[in-house]
Amino acid sequence: MVKESFLLVVILPLTAIIFFTESINRPMEITELEWLWIELTAGSFWAVFVLLGYIYIFYFTIGLIKKLFNKNNHKREAIKN
């Protein structure tokens, strides 16, 4: 799982850069997030990949933080006992 996560962390920003460079042709009154939403509703592969990738990284980060806090809590309990 770590190898896949690492690959995603490396590939996702590159994909996001490509997606947002494609957004250069968007109208000036539309923000990047609005453009992402428009592309998502249109079914753009890049937009779907970027969104799913960032959701995955968010959940991976939350899981990592929980894992680190659990390790620290176990160490504190061992020191108390």
For residue range 27-39, what is the model confidence (pLDDT) as tens digits?
888 888 888 888 8
pTM, two decimal places: 0.60
- Which residue range is the domain that position 54 belongs to? 2-80
For residues 53, 56, 60, 62, the Cα torsion angle rounded to the nearest 10 degrees is: 110
For 18, 19, 21, 35, 68, the CA distances from 45, given in Å and listed in that order, are 12, 10, 15, 14, 34
Distance from C-alpha of 59 to C-alpha of 53, rounded to nearest angstrom: 10
pLDDT digits (tens, 9 = 90+) for 5-31: 677 777 777 777 877 777 777 888 888
* Buried-state track 38-69, b at ≥16 Cβ within 10 A, e below 16: ebeeeebebbebbbebeeeeeebeeeeeeeee
Total domains in the chain come to 1
